[in-house]
Amino acid sequence: HRAEFGALVTDFTMIKGGCLHRANGGYLVVEVGGLLANPLAWDALKRAIKNSSIRTEGMGAQLQMVSTVTLEPEPIPLDLKVLLIGDPMTYYVLHQVDEDFRKLFKVKADFGARFDRKPASCRHYAQFVAARCHEEGLLPFERDAVARVVNYGSRLAGHQKKLSTRFGEIADLVREASYWAKKRGASQTAPEDVQKAVNQGIYRSNRAEEQIQEMIDEGAIRVDVDGEVIGQVNGLSVLALGDYEFGKPSRITVRTYTGRTGVVSLDREAKLSGRIYDKGLLTLNGYLGGKYAQDAPLSLSASISFEQLYEEIEGDSASSTELYALLSSLSGVPIKQGFAVTGSVDQQGYVQPIGGANEKIEGFFLTCKHKGLTGEQGVLIPEQNVVNLMLRDEVRQAVADGRFHIYPVRTIDEGLEILTGVPAGELQEDGSYPEDSIHGLVAARLQEIGANLKETGKTAAEEAEEAETGGSVHVEAAADQAGDAEEAPDADAAPDDGDASSETENQPVQPS
């Protein structure tokens, strides 16, 4: 329509063909995100597909807001295939809430975020780089520069044997690398240009990482990278800020003492933990019970805390770290603070793979670098995560030079021996562990706690009731005993201590 003298007028010359008209008889490829941003377009597309025809009508007619008589051309027969492109979550939502979507779009092609890194795949990557250079007038890439781009694709995929399908980011890297090559007056893009493009991308996004590292350097955030401490381990977490992720070390501390409350997380009690983290914490109870409580009840009180960590914690990747600190506290054997640990654990004591291995290793390496590399520092990772390592050149060189170490571990026992230098201990024929081993010391401490509880005579129910009433239970009991003594002065009086009834109760890996 057009406005003339205060009125809306139209004629057949104002009718324009749209995407459906131009694609009629062929294929229409549409980004589903943009389509859903305009509900009228989405409804019109579904209506056209269902009716196999294209009706030309204005927005006012669709909304039934304009009563003015307008042109209404005859419907045009429609014969085409429609391809919607979008992310998996959009597909799942539409499939769940839109019945027309389920009926009209029945063929699904699910493309993964990565594919196998094979010689043919590497050639395809090289062809993609060459196509970008040819179409956009970029400098040609040297052979080694293309190899750097391929390695960057594996880094994005998070796997040595995979390549990422995030070609938008690959194209951005190619463009920026060509820019740096042109700036230094080169005729070809070299590997150092690709690396500079990667480094510049990190520099533009790592302000938060630098601020956290500055606080660690100043001591505002305490992280120990040398010495030995009982019940303390360096844990590793990943912070994601938009398009940039980085690792952050944190101290995990454990205190154990006589009691029956079990393992308690201070972060969980403060409602700073998620469900997966809580499950990982409960796994520790299963491990302890299966390992040390086959012949007697498990008596233990322990508190676990992520020190100076105030954001919500989620995931079980620190469960093995917590277990190391817990066993150290119980055994009294100190842990070398030059190590950081990541990995979840099951009830059998097997270490399980986690995500963000590269970022976690690089985060702890950066802290050790700032505080001074001693050659005794490193990170313990699950054995299954070795294939995920695509580390930065600086870290790889430090590992190759022996200034930093990466230890893949399969079980908790392997990790204990690396962290403490003390044998973990094998179960003997009589069901006990060697006295000078970690497990032997832990078992002895748990027996000591059990004996102490038996001497005090407090049951778990009494402890819980005492905690709820703040000690009033024992006051009333004492009053009752006093009353009984007055009523029966000739009875033999037991000592008024409230406890009379208790008598019945590996080698480091080289980076690829």
SS3 track for 350-409: EEECCCCHHHHHHHHHHHHHHHCCCCCCEEEEEHHHHHHCCCCHHHHHHHHCCCCEEEEE
Cβ contacts of 309 within 8 Å, gap of 6 or more: 237, 250, 267, 272
pLDDT band at residue 361 using 50, 70 and 90 as cut-offs: very high
Residue 190 has pLDDT above 90, yes or no: yes
Q: Is the pLDDT of residue 459 over 80?
A: no
Q: Describe the chain by its helix, strand, coil percentages, rounded to 5.
A: 50, 15, 35
Instruction: Give the pLDDT score at 457.
Output: 67
The two three-digit tokens of residue 508, written as one number: 């480091």
- List the single range of 166-170, 414-418, 502-506 with lowest mean pLDDT: 502-506
d(Cα 113, Cα 290) in Å, to the nearest integer?
40
Four-way CATH pick for 114-205: 1.10.357.10, 3.50.50.60, 1.10.8.60, 3.20.20.140? 1.10.8.60
HSE-up (13 A, CA, CB side) for residue 351: 28
Place of tokens 């480094």: 199
Q: What is the number of alpha carbons within 13 Å of residue 125 lying toward its C-beta?
A: 30
| 26 three-class SS | coil
Q: Check residue 413 and give its pLDDT.
A: 97
418: left (phi over 0), alpha (psi -120 to 50) or beta: alpha
User: Which pLDDT band, with edges at 50, 70 and 90, does 491 fall under?
Assistant: very low
Counting Cβ atoms within 10 Å, is residue 201 exposed (0-12), middle (13-18) or buried (19+)?
middle
Contacts of 216 (CB under 8 A, 6+ apart): 222, 223, 249, 367, 370
- Of 31-35, 74-78, 222-226, 462-466, the range with the highest mean pLDDT is 222-226
pLDDT of residue 331: 96
The yes-or-no verdict on residue 1 having pLDDT over 90 is no
Decide if pLDDT at 66 tops 90: no
pTM: 0.80
Instruction: Determine contact, residues 418/506, Cβ cutoff 8 Å.
Output: yes
Q: For residue 247, give every residue at least 6 positions away whose Cβ sits within 8 Å of its Cβ, in sequence order, or none.
A: 236, 237, 238, 239, 356, 359, 360, 361, 362, 363, 364
- Tell me the C-alpha distance between 307 and 318, whole Å: 13
- Let me know: does 292 contact 443? Beta carbons within 8 Å: yes
Average pLDDT rounded to a whole number, residues 373-398: 96
Phi, psi of 489 (to 5 degrees): -65, -20
What per-residue confidence (pLDDT) applies to 472? Answer: 42
Q: Do domains 114-205 and 214-420 have the same CATH topology?
A: no
Give pLDDT, residue 56.
Answer: 74
User: What are the boundaries of each domain within the chain?
Assistant: 2-104, 114-205, 214-420
Task: Decide if 233 contacts 419 (C-beta within 8 A).
Answer: yes
Q: Which two tokens stand for residue 157?
A: 């995929």
Closest to 204 (Cα-Cα) out of 257, 236, 150, 242: 242
User: Beta strands of 374-497 (E only): which ranges?
Assistant: 378-382, 405-409
The Cα–Cα gap between 409 and 399 comes to 17
Strand partners, 76: 54
Mean pLDDT confidence for 429-458: 89
Task: Name the residue among 132, 145, 150 with its Cα closest to residue 186.
Answer: 145
The span from the CA of 328 to the CA of 233, in Å, is 9
Mean pLDDT check: name the lowest of 148-157, 287-296, 315-324, 484-493: 484-493
The pLDDT of residue 486? 43
Confidence band of 498 (pLDDT split at 50, 70, 90): very low
Give pLDDT, residue 431.
Answer: 85
214-420 sits in which CATH class?
alpha beta
Q: Has residue 101 got a pLDDT over 80?
A: yes
